[in-house]
Amino acid sequence: MHWKLLEVIFDKGILMKGSLESKIALVTGGASGIGRATALAFAREGAKVVIADIQVEGGQKTVSLIEAAGGKALFVTCDVSKAAEVETLIAKCVEVYGRLDCAFNNAGILGEMGTTVDCTEENFDRIMNGNLKSIWLCMKYEIPQMLKQGRGVIVNAGSNAGMRGVPELPAYSASKGGVVILTRTAALEYAKSGIRINAVNPGLILTPMVQRQIAGNSEAVDAFIAESPNGRIGEPEEVAEVVVWLCTDAASLVTGHLMAVDGGLLA
């Protein structure tokens, strides 16, 4: 289902409470794309949702979609690459809702494309801060709250690019590869404390960021489709459903897992 259609469904007030009823869920990068789709899916399942992003208008739009359907949501402006802002974000979640049950650490950037040699230091640092340091900071402040509660679930946004080499995306691929190992490490550290930590690794998903990247480059799109076993680009909702499932009790034995959502590309 295309995310535009999902927005229409929520605008009409179709909100089904289900597997996450009464839970508190956090989505970083929730202003658009996979983040927005996941926030809507969390709300559909009955969770109260905190949306964090630096894009204020988009974040508030996500909140309005949820509220229009009868759900509850809160937007917090947050740059997840900055420790003080992340600490404030988690404190706000607890202040408003009293706890934090699920967190989808999704915010990230693509950065500039170029070979390993052509990648600038500024670009490399920016991508590492936005994609890897940010995940670490989010877990750094989410986990202590979940330890107090005795349980919690975290899903980190990895990427297919973090599981294989992608030419002209050295910093992005390295940052997502770092997310993979960081996820596994944290999952082992807190498995006995009732906290499950997993990662989703999407392939090419039709988000606004990807749409901007592939605009006017039909040859690149055709090449990806030809390479993908299922012969198409993914939709944000397809990733969102996986994230939500990982946060439910149906996935109670799943931790330290790297869930590929890529139409079979890695296989």
For the annotated catalytic residues, the residue numbers are: 172
Q: Which residue's structure tokens are 């592939």?
A: 214
Q: Are 36 and 48 in contact (CB under 8 A)?
A: no
Residue 115, token pair as written in the block: 């070979």
Residue of 235, 170, 246 lying closest to 206 (CA atoms): 235
d(CA 158, CA 176): 5
Q: Are 52 and 59 in contact (CB under 8 A)?
A: yes
Residue type, 204: L
At 141 the three-state DSSP class reads helix
Residue type, 170: P
Residue 66, token pair as written in the block: 């949820």
Provide the β-strand partners of residue 48: 24
Q: Are 175 and 131 in contact (CB under 8 A)?
A: yes
d(CA 131, CA 28): 12
